[in-house]
Amino acid sequence: MGELIPLKNVNVTIEALHRLGRDDLSLTVVGDGPQRTALEELVRSYRMEERVRFLGRVPRVEVLEHMARADCFVMANSPETFGLVYVAAMGCGCYVIGSKGEGIDGVIVDGKNGALVEPGSVDVLAKAMSWTACCIDSR
């Protein structure tokens, strides 16, 4: 959600989704910014156009509607302060994956209501996303 700039690590989320190799998982990217073209190219290079959607900027009420339909919310930024978007995602029922040591620790309890990952680590994020997908599959 928001600006597509390097500190948002959207490329790491795309890389982690690709590494999982699961065609049943998808990613919706809400927001716009200077990295959008490069991120879209990354998605094309992995042939994941059917699984990754870029919506651009949308009104806040639409953001909440997308969150309400989602199982998981991923925002592994660095640096990050206390992002209210994490709380909004939790309020919509999402399992939330955020960055360890970046302001959301204590609200996200690792393994309970979400996961905390090392910012920038594709492997750690892929593992958290995989664990989340397994939990969602078992509902």
Helix, strand, coil shares of the chain as percentages rounded to 5?
Answer: 40, 20, 40
How many independent structural domains does the chain possess?
A: 1
Peptide bond into 79 cis (omega under 30): yes
Report pLDDT digits (tens) over 15-62: 999 999 999 899 999 999 999 999 999 999 999 999 999 999 999 999
Q: What 3-state class would DSSP assign to 93? A: coil
CA distances from 128 to 41, 66, 95, 97, 111 (A): 25, 21, 11, 7, 9
For residue 91, being part of any structural domain is answered with yes
State the Cα–Cα distance between residues 66 and 127, nearest whole angstrom.
Answer: 24
State the Cα–Cα distance between residues 33 and 127, nearest whole angstrom.
Answer: 28
Write the CATH number for 130. 3.40.50.2000
State the Cα–Cα distance between residues 19 and 12, nearest whole angstrom.
Answer: 10
For residue 52, being part of any structural domain is answered with yes
Expressed as residue numbers, the domain containing 117 is 6-137
For residue 119, being part of any structural domain is answered with yes
Report pLDDT digits (tens) over 61-118: 999 999 999 999 999 888 877 788 899 999 999 999 999 988 888 889 888 889 999 9
For residue 1, being part of any structural domain is answered with no
For residue 87, being part of any structural domain is answered with yes
